[in-house]
Homo-oligomer: A and B are copies of this chain.
């Protein structure tokens, strides 16, 4: 097992990465205020892993309230969030109950937001079971739900007390979701870690083959990068925005098609390719570097072009994104591979040119 630390003063917490961690209740029990948890998961994950976790917790004397949600991004809304509150209240969970998220990004975001709001905040632990959640969404305390007019528009910063990434859970992950997770892994290389990007170029096939050592290394490097950024800027007033590389274009894709058509990581992959194209138009990347980025994403089986929504629709959806500072469209772009930058320099016609060039005919 590898252990990383997210340094946030009194809210610091460990990230455990390794095999067989679901059965190691002590990792979790150490972080509880009282031996009482509500495990929030979805129907798919529950089938595979809820029993293992519950058995381990019962063995450690912990009372468990399971909350099983329907599976899918389309359920990341008020209605589903309320199912969590209903269950917590019906089983009389109090302020000392810990909410445990067992699942992917959607489960983690919703369970975390429920923990942030239930009785104005209860403790929270993340047990991410998808690659995307293990390398990205489970770390850093961002929680929330979607609104018909925008993704993650309603939410809270609520740091977990621990993140437990059991790499065994990736064995049941569908290929498409594994690849979507790799998009966020590539992101860390692009924004701040050229050596990791080069490692990915050398090892992409091992990741796709689910080689355990390769996955563990990729998760560890990703989490180490994310932990650094989060420690520097917990609530995204500055450098943390770099983690949104590809996300403004990506959110437009997801919202424009309707949530659930593309996976988040797929939209981010196309969005990163678009951000690379735009960075080239600003004179920061060469054509060769843009190609190198696209080639790595394509080797991971990820899309590098967006759907044809029309530039006007993209721009409309992008300006609804949270990354708007007083009317100016603020984007994450690349000065080089391994060097992300927060920039408002792109003119609207340059953004339009990128959309026209990078979307399917």
Measured CB to CB, the residues of A under 8 A from B are: 34, 36, 78, 82, 85-86, 89-90, 92, 94-96, 116-121, 142-144, 147, 149-150, 152-157, 235-236, 319-320, 322, 324-327
Contact = CB atoms under 8 A, between A and B. Distances in A.
B120 A144 contact: yes
Contacts of A153: 85, 89, 118-119
B326 A34 contact: yes
A142 B117 CA distance: 11
A198 B327 CA distance: 54
The 6 closest A-B pairs by CB, nearest first: A89-B149, A120-B155, A119-B322, A94-B324, A117-B154, A34-B326
Contact of A121 (B82, B89, B149, B156): B156
A326 B322 CA distance: 39
A235 B156 contact: no
* Copies of this chain: 2
Contacts of A116: 156
Q: Name the prevailing secondary structure of the A interface residues.
A: mixed
A259 B328 CA distance: 44
A78 B89 contact: no
Contact of A142 (B120, B155, B327): B120
A23 to B, nearest CB: 27
A85 B147 contact: yes
B322 A147 contact: no
B154 A118 contact: yes
A154 B85 contact: yes
A123 to B, nearest CB: 12
Given A89-B320, A144-B120, A96 B326 contact: yes
Contact of A322 (B86, B94, B322): B94
